[in-house]
Amino acid sequence: GENVEQHPSTLSVQEGDSAVIKCTYSDSASNYFPWYKQELGKGPQLIIDIRSNVGEKKDQRIAVTLNKTAKHFSLHITETQPEDSAVYFCAATWPGQGNLIFGKGTKLSVKP
Amino acid sequence: DGGITQSPKYLFRKEGQNVTLSCEQNLNHDAMYWYRQDPGQGLRLIYYSQIVNDFQKGDIAEGYSVSREKKESFPLTVTSAQKNPTAFYLCASSMEGWAPQHFGDGTRLSIL
């Protein structure tokens, strides 16, 4: 079955710097890749997603890139702010999988 | 305002007791999910349901039970057979198994 590896598990950056979180997946059939942000004591919220027919998607300071050949996708956050501090999860799936397969999460800390 | 409601936010269980966590959604989603979250463990799938009156075991179903009698509701029972029930439980829903999932804000279960 599908397996998703996420790195790093923790990431600390200075405010204004960029942050990159990388995920690799094992099942080449996967074609949908969402990213979630989870703040303390809350449920995860979808922040951006990408389907396998595109290589990159951007939404203001957040972007996701997908390399289908290498089976990895990455979250890029530019001009980080303290409110970006949270745990970020990547996931992968494909029609017929029935559910999302999540990475183990990355705790991002943005220092003012 | 559409969304997912989990209740209660905090729950305490005595040894040997069964407890039921509530999850209700008004998003008209077909699929619903239960996850368990432990520190540093990410999201682990307990059960999921893609349609009313049908559900499948996830990766850690032992000691848990669910029902899906209505499209809007997917309650999770933590039975006395679950020896380590202390965790943060998250419910989610989606249009289909591979579509974006929307999460509730979780129930934190503790043992007295």
Cα separation, B17 vs B60, in Å, equals 19
pLDDT at B40 over 80: no
pLDDT at A91 over 80: yes
Measured in angstroms, the CA of B97 and the nearest CA of chain A are apart by 4
Task: Give the residue from A32, A99, A102, A106 with the most B CB atoms within 10 Å of its CB, the best one to mutate.
Answer: A99
pLDDT tens figures, A35-75: 999 999 899 999 999 998 889 999 999 999 999 999 999 99
Mean pLDDT of A89-95: 90
Mean pLDDT score across all residues of chain B = 92
pLDDT at A81 over 80: yes
Cα separation, B87 vs B102, in Å, equals 20
Determine how many CB atoms are found less than 10 A away from the CB of residue B1. 3
Measured in angstroms, the CA of A98 and the nearest CA of chain B are apart by 4
pLDDT tens figures, B59-94: 999 999 999 999 999 999 999 888 899 999 999 999
Q: What percentage of residues in chain A have a pLDDT greater than 90?
A: 83
pLDDT at residue A94 in the model = 83
pLDDT at residue B112 in the model = 82
Q: Which of B42, B45, B104, B100 is CA-nearest to residue B72?
A: B104
pLDDT at B107 over 90: yes
pLDDT tens figures, A11-21: 999 999 999 99
Chain length of chain A: 112
Cα separation, B55 vs B36, in Å, equals 17
Residue type, A73: F
Cα separation, B8 vs B6, in Å, equals 6
Which residues, numbered 19 to 58 in chain B, qualify as contacts with chain A under a Cβ-Cβ cut-off of 8 Å?
31, 33, 40-43, 45, 48, 50, 56, 58
- The DSSP secondary structure of A60-110, one letter per residue, reads TTEEEEEETTTTEEEEEE-S--GGG-EEEEEEEB-TTS-S-EE---EEEEE
pLDDT at A1 over 90: no
Q: Which single residue is written with the structure tokens 């922040």?
A: A47
pLDDT at B15 over 90: no
Of A32, A46, A102, the CB nearest to B98: A32
Which residues, numbered 60 to 99 in chain A, qualify as contacts with chain B under a Cβ-Cβ cut-off of 8 Å?
89, 93-99
pLDDT at residue B41 in the model = 77
Higher pLDDT, A27 or B66: B66
Using CA of residue B95, residue B101, residue B105, residue B109, what is the dihedral sign?
positive
Interchain CB contact of A34 with B (< 8 Å)? yes
**Cβ contact B98–A96 (<8 Å):** yes
pLDDT at B8 over 80: yes
Q: Which of A74, A89, A95, A90 is CA-nearest to residue A29?
A: A95
pLDDT at B54 over 90: yes
Q: Which two tokens stand for residue A78?
A: 């530019």
Measured in angstroms, the CA of A64 and the nearest CA of chain B are apart by 15
Determine how many CB atoms are found less than 10 A away from the CB of residue B98. 20
Cα separation, A71 vs A28, in Å, equals 7
Mean pLDDT of A78-86: 97
pLDDT at residue B99 in the model = 79
pLDDT at residue B1 in the model = 60
